[in-house]
Structure 1
Amino acid sequence: MSHMRSAESVEEDNDEGVDLIALGRRVRHLRKKQSMTLDDLAEAVGTAPSQLSLLENGRREPKLSQLRQIAKTLGVAVDELFGTEPPSRRAALEIELEKTQRGPLYSALHLPSVRISSRLPTDALESLVALQRELKRRLEEQAATPEEARRANTELREEQRAKNNYYPELEAQAAELLAAVRHDAGPGGQHRPLSHHKAADLAEHLGYSIRYVSRLPHETQSVTDQRNMVIYLTQSSTGARDARSLLLQALAHRVLGHTAPQDYSEFLRQRVYANYLAGALLMPEKATTDFLNQAKQAKELAIEDIRDAFAVSYESAAHRFTNLATQHLGITCHFQKVHESGIIHKAYENDGVRFPTDHSGAIEGQTICRRWTSREVFDVEDKFRSFDQYTDTPLGTFWCTARTESHSSSTYSLSIGVPFEHAKWFRGRATGFRSKSRCPDDPTCCRVPPAELSEVWEGQAWPTARANTHLLAAMPEGAFPGVDSEEVYRFLQSQG
């Protein structure tokens, strides 16, 4: 649009998007450049100084005839009043500050507005603008979109791959804590699970007491009262594995010095590190590595054996295997947790396997190939034992072992896979199950229906899809996504 068209539009309803704040600041700049006071210009154009002040502050839409008078008095063309660039850096700062203070974000904070005048020092103006920019950035990050959440997951997974999912500093902290409560090897140097008693000793060592309650605030697994040094767990967590894990995760956040996360990325990173430390406490590095090396020498590596030996869940055992396999066994691997619909819930790899990804590199929410072990296992009748399978892919053959676990609303598969050359160390290496996958590059592998089915049903099938509106929503707000702070505070208040 031309500048003259913008000038004409001010006589209408400003539908063309005339920037009244920028217009006013430019008039003020040109007036001062001519060494004219507000009264001087007002007298020259035949208006009251108060009306001209409203124009310069972007609070009044001028008529075209008045703009022409102003331009003539200031010795410029009308179009020059509508320049796209602010006339000076200070003017740019004033415009940004004024726009921010009139915006919905600033209004929602219920803060007093700063009066912008020539008496406001430029350095103060710069500080105010910088503060508002940072506030906006943080609020936008906390209201993370699903895409931002996936990007945070991708960045963390890249870090884990670079470290082979092994964090020596967390291993050292776990060893130090276990030594403090005298949790060492059993008779004959044999490993032994971390008991409830020892977990409670660890809490006491760190200055915490434990209380069970019938109900915790929604979306919380535990609540820590930092003032009174109490960790609250729910009575529903009566299983030995759940109770220990939840307690250790709560303690891990305190040991690692975590504070309220500033954004979703920090929240996710804190959670992963706390879970890692909890796993290292339940399955100590030396004891678990000794156990795995013995199994490797016997060519009897099996995730379920880690589960049984340390009294943990299969998922915890699988995660712990990925921590130690490359560092201590020289085995690269990948892990998957897949929903029964085929959607990837979470995954990790450092063995070259390729997961389907979106444009940002995220794998969460992508559909895994139906030929892979993590999908095939859902159709296996024998759910008591693990299902083992070789899968030929364009990048080579991978051996995988998988199980399914039912949760409150769904069933997931948990799988660990390794390149063919490492399969010789695992118990299920002799499996006769084998499949072939061309995913994710070839959609005809499993994402496009076979021609014979398409010929019969294409254009004749109309499924009623579920409207997963949560996929369109922003991440739950708050430092701890989805947690109602008031509910947590009232819970703690009621415990006093």
Structure 2
Amino acid sequence: MTSTQAPKTETSPSVDNLSIGRRIRFFRKEAGLTLSELGERVGRAASQISTIENGKRETSVTLLASIAQALGTEVADLLDPTPVDGRQALELEAERNQASPMYSSLGLPQVRIKSLPQDALEAIVGLQRQLSEVLTRRAATPEEARRANRELRETMREKNNYFADLEKQAAELLSLAGYESGTVSQRETATIAEKLGFSLHYVSDLPSSTRSISDTANRRIYLPNADAAFDPRTHLLTSLAPHVLGHEAPKDFREFLQQRVDANYLAAAVLLPESAAVPVLTEAKRKRELSVEYLRDMFGVGYETAAHRFTNLATEHLGLPVHFMKVHASGTIHKAYSNDGLPFPTDPLGAIEGQFACKRFTSRTVFRVADRFSPYYQYTDTPQGSYWCTARVLPGGDYAISVGVPFAHVKWFEGRESSIRSQSRCPDPSCCRTAPEELAAKWEDNSLPSAKMHASLLAAVPPGAVPGVDDTEVFEFLERHSG
């Protein structure tokens, strides 16, 4: 889009006094009339007509009809919100920006837009756009990020973490590959990419801030060489998801987060197809043998993917309320979902991510277990009731995944015979966040720890089209491989 073109929008801009006024001025000049001459024809002073054209006065239907008749046009033409040309589009954008609360808060002077030469008008509108973008990015604070996480989690809870439209799109992708049943092979995922018109390229110099790069001009997807030695299916499918779902560069953190969740959901729905996974889970429930490990092994996916997929399908198809947690070894909650009432810790904004999980929760106690091969099961008594969970520490040892249900539903799961039991009083601080009195008395005034601080605390949404990605590295990479 050049600077003289009207900005493209999905819906027509709203009709307002400024838009009507600008169209009156346009048709007045087209008719060769002065303000005084038009005023005489409709019985109004020239100053009143000027005020109307500047969008500072609302017109009645009767007056608008008189003006249209005097200008030899229709009322509909004056109400049409579409700018008559590129110049008027820029003027309207500039005037609306100057009238916005954001502009007023900056204490900048008002500019007479209609008298500006074209190059000055383009420069001002360009500056206004850049200023708006900068302020929007600045607004994406850690508080905004936590608020976005909370809103997304509430949406997921309303839908039982099950999204029928994404399930349908996953089924359509599987049909492209001729999938029938069982494990989705690496060849089938590659066929999906081929059917969508993409070629796959494994490289050793992928920028460290990316997990894949799509060259949309040449229809190529670049993946790290490390994937070729392991399981490249997940990265491939999450790279294809934005093209399937019609994603564009996110406008804010909320949209970025939604896109990421949708892409991960679609990838998991392809790797564990609803048509194959639901019968497996239904039969396992009938036998009282539900297990995340069984789902993982049946479809050849990672434990985290299997746990995510279980929460997608458990409530919708099995009638089971569930919760899911991904917790760092430090105790910080990385991801969380619940529709079973488990009392998660929250901040004043209602966000869970970034809070510390109770030290008595399964997702924390599993780190203290030496056996990392066998499933770990635990019952936890909380103020909201008793819950059963299964948990596993992921390879690398930094994160643990736990999935659980209220006590009334544990009868359907393997591991229900566990004798391990814990008691959590959280969010009561005395549960695990307040030091014992004797230790506090001894060390409270005699300690000065130095805390680790993650970079994300300083910049929730780093600059760039995609948060956390170095645009320069990406563009240089594409340039190297474009030949």
Question: 1:262 offset after TM fit, Å?
Answer: 1.0
The AA in structure 2 aligned to 1:280 is A
What is the Cα-based RMSD across aligned positions, in Å?
A: 2.9
| 1:396-415 → structure 2 map (5 Å cutoff) | 396-407=385-396, 411-415=398-402
SS of structure 1 residue aligned to 2:416: helix
Cα 1:208–1:315, aligned 2, differ >3 Å: closer, same or farther? same
Residues 230-260 of structure 1: per-residue CA shift (max 9 Å, x gap) = 111010123543x100001111110111111
Query: Do the aligned partners of 2:202 and 2:228 also contact (CA within 8 Å) in 1?
Result: no
User: Which residue of structure 2 aligns with residue 140 of structure 1?
Assistant: 135
Residue of structure 1 aligned with 2:468, choices 457, 482, 492: 482
User: Which residue of structure 1 aligns with residue 301 of structure 2?
Assistant: 312
User: Which residue of structure 1 aligns with residue 26 of structure 2?
Assistant: none
User: Which residue of structure 2 aligns with residue 227 of structure 1?
Assistant: 217
CA distance in 1, matches of 2:343, 2:126: 43
Query: Do the aligned partners of 2:206 and 2:212 also contact (CA within 8 Å) in 1?
Result: yes
SS of structure 2 residue aligned to 1:389: strand
* 2:280 is the alignment partner of 1:285: no
Question: 1:224 offset after TM fit, Å?
Answer: 0.6
SS of structure 1 residue aligned to 2:399: strand
* 2:369 is the alignment partner of 1:392: no
User: Which residue of structure 1 aligns with residue 443 of structure 2?
Assistant: 457
Question: 1:139 offset after TM fit, Å?
Answer: 3.0
User: Which residue of structure 2 aligns with residue 24 of structure 1?
Assistant: none
* 2:232 is the alignment partner of 1:246: no
CA distance in 2, matches of 1:429, 1:140: 52
Cα 1:239–1:436, aligned 2, differ >3 Å: closer, same or farther? farther
* 2:171 is the alignment partner of 1:175: yes
Residues 202-245 of structure 1: per-residue CA shift (max 9 Å, x gap) = 1111111101111212311111111111111010123543x100
Query: Do the aligned partners of 1:97 and 1:129 also contact (CA within 8 Å) in 2?
Result: no
Cα 1:437–1:494, aligned 2, differ >3 Å: closer, same or farther? same
Cα 1:404–1:163, aligned 2, differ >3 Å: closer, same or farther? same
Question: 1:177 offset after TM fit, Å?
Answer: 1.4
CA distance in 2, matches of 1:470, 1:276: 24
The AA in structure 2 aligned to 1:271 is R
| 1:95-494 → structure 2 map (5 Å cutoff) | 116=112, 119=115, 136-143=131-138, 144-185=140-181, 192-241=182-231, 243-407=232-396, 411-440=398-427, 442-468=428-454, 470-494=456-480
The AA in structure 2 aligned to 1:429 is R
User: Which residue of structure 1 aligns with residue 38 of structure 2?
Assistant: none
CA distance in 2, matches of 1:159, 1:119: 48
Query: Do the aligned partners of 1:400 and 1:417 also contact (CA within 8 Å) in 2?
Result: yes
SS of structure 1 residue aligned to 2:394: strand
CA distance in 2, matches of 1:157, 1:467: 25
Structure 2 unmatched runs, 5+ = 1-94
SS of structure 2 residue aligned to 1:202: helix
SS of structure 2 residue aligned to 1:238: helix
CA distance in 1, matches of 2:363, 2:105: 53
Stretch moving more, 310-319 or 466-475: 466-475
Question: 1:452 offset after TM fit, Å?
Answer: 3.1
CA distance in 1, matches of 2:460, 2:199: 36
CA distance in 2, matches of 1:94, 1:214: 48
Identity %: 51
Query: Do the aligned partners of 2:324 and 2:404 also contact (CA within 8 Å) in 1?
Result: yes
The AA in structure 2 aligned to 1:316 is T
Question: 1:457 offset after TM fit, Å?
Answer: 3.1
Query: Do the aligned partners of 2:241 and 2:266 also contact (CA within 8 Å) in 1?
Result: yes
The AA in structure 2 aligned to 1:411 is D
Query: Do the aligned partners of 2:390 and 2:403 also contact (CA within 8 Å) in 1?
Result: yes
SS of structure 2 residue aligned to 1:335: strand
The AA in structure 2 aligned to 1:141 is T
Query: Do the aligned partners of 2:465 and 2:471 also contact (CA within 8 Å) in 1?
Result: no
CA distance in 1, matches of 2:105, 2:356: 44
CA distance in 1, matches of 2:355, 2:104: 44
Decide which structure has the larger Cα Rg and report it.
1
Residues 155-194 of structure 1: per-residue CA shift (max 9 Å, x gap) = 1111101100000011011111111211112xxxxxx211
SS of structure 2 residue aligned to 1:337: strand
Stretch moving more, 277-286 or 446-455: 446-455
Question: 1:364 offset after TM fit, Å?
Answer: 1.0
Question: 1:132 offset after TM fit, Å?
Answer: 7.2
CA distance in 2, matches of 1:213, 1:193: 27
Residues 280-330 of structure 1: per-residue CA shift (max 9 Å, x gap) = 000000110111111111111110111111111100000000000000000
Cα 1:100–1:370, aligned 2, differ >3 Å: closer, same or farther? closer
Query: Do the aligned partners of 2:377 and 2:415 also contact (CA within 8 Å) in 1?
Result: yes
CA distance in 1, matches of 2:421, 2:351: 28
Question: 1:352 offset after TM fit, Å?
Answer: 1.1
Q: Which of structure 1's runs of 4+ aligned residues deviate more than 4 A? A: 92-103, 117-121, 127-137, 467-470
With normalisation by structure 2, the TM-score equals 0.74
CA distance in 2, matches of 1:97, 1:177: 47
The AA in structure 2 aligned to 1:177 is L
Question: 1:494 offset after TM fit, Å?
Answer: 1.1
Question: 1:490 offset after TM fit, Å?
Answer: 1.7
CA distance in 2, matches of 1:335, 1:359: 22
CA distance in 2, matches of 1:375, 1:156: 24
CA distance in 1, matches of 2:319, 2:218: 45
SS of structure 2 residue aligned to 1:366: coil
Residues 438-489 of structure 1: per-residue CA shift (max 9 Å, x gap) = 101x100111112233344332333233354541334211120121222212
Query: Do the aligned partners of 1:196 and 1:240 also contact (CA within 8 Å) in 2?
Result: no
CA distance in 1, matches of 2:394, 2:108: 53
Question: 1:195 offset after TM fit, Å?
Answer: 0.9
The AA in structure 1 aligned to 2:142 is P
Query: Do the aligned partners of 1:263 and 1:479 also contact (CA within 8 Å) in 2?
Result: no
Residues 358-415 of structure 1: per-residue CA shift (max 9 Å, x gap) = 11111111011101111111111111111100101110100000000144xx611100
The AA in structure 2 aligned to 1:427 is E
The AA in structure 2 aligned to 1:213 is V
